[in-house]
Chains A and B, each alone.
Chain A
Amino acid sequence: MTDLLALFSLPVLETTFRLGTPLLLACLAGLFSERAGIFDIGLEGKMLVAAFFSASVAYTTSSVWLGLMAGIAASLVLSLIHGLASITFRGNQLISGVALNFLASGVTVVVAQTWFSQGGRTPSLPDEARFKPISFFFVEILESIPVIGPVLASLIFGHDLLVYVAFAAVPVTWWVLFRTRFGLRLRAVGENPAAVDTAGVSVVGLRFAAVLICGVLCGIAGAYLATALQAGFVKEMTAGRGYIALAALIFAKWRPWYALGACLLFGYLQAVALRPDLLEAAFGFKVQVQLLDALPYILTVVILAGFVGKAIPPRAGGEPYVKER
């Protein structure tokens, strides 16, 4: 029993929050884009360029804030290309996403080699060029409280700024999408763009807005990877997180609060996969780490197949809008 509990011990849960953060940011990014009818399988690439440019600018300027800005800007550039291809020129959104992912993995390595000559990575970042856990003044008092004190101190108040940004983004996303006029229109443009057009609202404008919001959130996610979770950029450091976020988005049926749950679940699976010893102690046999790696994808396929609650994407998703067909 205690062995089972070890799977939910403080370090594991803390890692869950940290690993869930980039997933959550990217997932909400995808949510904005796909709710507006623009499929985005380029989340991975946007995170990757953001990770690289945030790390390199943070390293050269020793300012993590400038790094964050650079990351967001790089991600926005890819968003604009995606918008140009899929909104302006009505190209295939999926093909555009594939292209941008490759562009990101090529550009990051080539530029990293040109700038730093360290085999496609940035030098590791000094502390002042990273996001460090915020030191709340009351943490010391909290820690003295028995039992729940340490839990609160490390689990809730032991993180860096971007983790809080990610979690705050959930209610904000919900509010924007479901309680504002902009959100209503954005969702409408993903379901029935012709109706929005008839109402005199610009389909192109709304979709570009959604794609750019997606870029900002992916930028933060990438900056988090390189300047908070790790200290610097390494080749392909996103390691499929963009795709896991995509999976989480489907798992969450394109809803913000569900996205939080899905990302924490997938973050937890990643956290547990790092501790095979705990798993073996809990279940009494060796659990294949590969199964844990594959689990988010398998769960998503099951959900997609509609065996457990059907996931229905926004109706106009993936379709370029043509006025007066």
Chain B
Amino acid sequence: MSDKMPKWADVILIPLVGLILAFLLSGLMIWASGKDPWEAMDLMITGALGSTYGWGYTLYYATNFLFTGLAVAVAFHARMFNIGGEGQAMLGGLGVALVCLMIPWPHWTVAIVFATLGAALFGAAWSAIPAYLQAKRGSHIVITTIMFNFIAAALLNYVLVGPLKPLGAMEPATGKFPEPTHLPTLHDMLTPLGIAWSKAPPANVAFVIAVAACFAVWFLIWRTRLGYEIRAYGESESAAKYAGISPTKIIMVSMIISGALAGMMAINNVMGEAERLVLNSVEGAGFIGIAVALMGRSHPAGIFVAALLFGFLFQGGAELGLWTKIPREMVTIVQALVILFTGALDNMIRYPLEKLFLSFSRKEAAA
């Protein structure tokens, strides 16, 4: 396959064509509903990227998608499809809430270390069970992780109307986290540097951690022995086995890292934004991680770009819902089409492109 097309076409051109198709179809849909797609696009761009306010929200959403996108990507490298990012992120939220509420932290710098650990631990625990069942009992990881999403939702529902709800409160949510655990927002971080940044949006220090996680995942997958084993297993299970790589170990480790990354999303949305645990705090970010990982070709650099794009779509979509009659669910359609074109219908774009490149190279050979 690799000699049919140059690498850049595989990595950049195919996702780009998929993205363009997704946007075209969504634009058609807006047009068909009697609205102007250009106007909608313009509104989305100014709403999401036209001010530090918009950027603050875009980066906040992007932080969520960075974590869940990396989570899906790590599992993809071992040819595991972790569809349970949603549930793992919910559990991560529970971990963060327990850490923040149970222990009186002196300062956020200490709190965030342990909150990150708590989030990762809970997320990892939630992916470890399906991983174990896949490795030892052969239960299909996709089905078990879907089931675990629903079990997580029921569990969260239970703890939030029961044990974790403060006495007398009506809403299913935990109490507010104490003041010292509140994370600095981008406004707090950039103002001392003399950069004016809007105070309102929730983007916070977790964005920096998410970017660090990108580097960590890149290092893990391409620069360590474990990463090599994960990729080898993903390429060919039988070859990996022959090389003495234990499938059980790879399945467990890759899924645990994946779950931990998905869980870590909670330091952004639970600790950074809501500052308490509410029902449905994940808001589908676990699933968007699938689109992000597919578009980013499971590479941290690609995931970074894709997460920013989806952050833009999310914030832009919210603006659309606010100012026009186009509901924000329009973004769900774009997301669906991106998954469809860059994931499931990948070959539909790949085959004609491969033919095109083949005819080019023939011409070159003839000349």
Contact = CB atoms under 8 A, between A and B. Distances in A.
A271 to B, nearest CB: 17
B157 A41 contact: no
Interface in B284-301: 287, 290, 294
Contacts of A201: none
B344 A288 contact: no
Contacts of B327: 109-110, 113, 120
Contact of B347 (A91, A120, A240): A91
Contacts of B333: 102-103, 106-107, 110
A188 B325 CA distance: 50
Nearest to A81: B340
B335 A110 contact: no
B251 interface: no
Nearest to B158: A290
Contact of A291 (B158, B329, B344): B158
Interface in B322-345: 325-327, 329-337, 339-340, 343-345
Given A89-B345, A99-B343, A294-B155, A105 B329 contact: yes
A247 interface: yes
A102 B147 contact: no
Contacts of A39: 142
Interface string A233-245: 0000000100100
A236 B83 CA distance: 19
Contacts of B347: 89-91
B344 A86 contact: yes
Contacts of B212: none
B355 interface: no
Nearest to A313: B140
Category for how many chain B residues contact A: 35 or more
A161 interface: no
Interface in B80-110: 81, 83
A255 to B, nearest CB: 17
A305 B137 contact: yes
B325 A243 contact: no
B329 A99 contact: no
B139 A306 contact: yes
Q: Which residue, A102, A103, A111, A297, has most C-beta atoms of chain B within 10 A?
A: A102
A129 to B, nearest CB: 24
A227 interface: no
A85 B139 contact: no
B205 to A, nearest CB: 31
Contacts of B351: 89
A304 B347 CA distance: 32
B239 interface: no
B20 interface: no
A184 B339 CA distance: 34
B198 interface: no
B340 A99 contact: yes
B154 interface: yes
Category for how many chain A residues contact B: 35 or more
A103 B34 contact: no
B139 A305 contact: yes
B16 to A, nearest CB: 18
A122 interface: no
A301 interface: yes
Contacts of B356: none
A103 B344 CA distance: 13
Given A89-B347, A106-B330, A297 B151 contact: yes
B344 A96 contact: yes
Contacts of B222: none
Contacts of B138: 306
Contact of B330 (A84, A110, A304, A313): A110
Contact of A301 (B147, B153, B329, B340): B147
Contacts of B294: 95
A136 B230 CA distance: 63
B208 interface: no
Interface in A58-88: 81, 84-86
Nearest to A88: B348
A265 interface: no
Contacts of A84: 345, 348
Contacts of B343: 91-92, 95-96, 98-99
A176 interface: no
Given A89-B345, A103-B336, A293-B157, A94 B83 contact: yes
Given A113-B327, A250-B143, A313-B140, A294 B83 contact: no
Contacts of B336: 99-103, 106
A18 B339 CA distance: 34
A263 to B, nearest CB: 16
B29 A110 contact: yes
B137 A306 contact: yes
A127 to B, nearest CB: 30
A300 interface: yes
Q: Which residue, B138, B146, B158, has most C-beta atoms of chain A within 10 A?
A: B146
B346 interface: yes
B335 A102 contact: yes
B307 to A, nearest CB: 17
A106 B325 contact: no
15 contacts: A89-B351, A90-B347, A94-B142, A99-B336, A99-B340, A102-B335, A103-B332, A110-B333, A111-B33, A293-B154, A297-B147, A297-B150, A301-B148, A301-B151, A305-B137
Given A106-B335, A288-B158, A297-B151, 18 more contacts: A41-B142, A85-B340, A85-B348, A86-B344, A89-B346, A95-B290, A95-B294, A100-B340, A102-B287, A103-B340, A106-B334, A110-B29, A113-B326, A294-B151, A297-B147, A300-B143, A301-B151, A304-B147
Interface of A: 39, 41, 81, 84-86, 89-96, 98-103, 105-107, 109-111, 113-114, 117, 120, 240, 243, 246-247, 250, 288, 290-291, 293-294, 297-298, 300-301, 304-306, 313
Interface of B: 29, 33-34, 81, 83, 133, 137-140, 142-144, 146-148, 150-151, 153-155, 157-158, 161-162, 287, 290, 294, 325-327, 329-337, 339-340, 343-348, 351
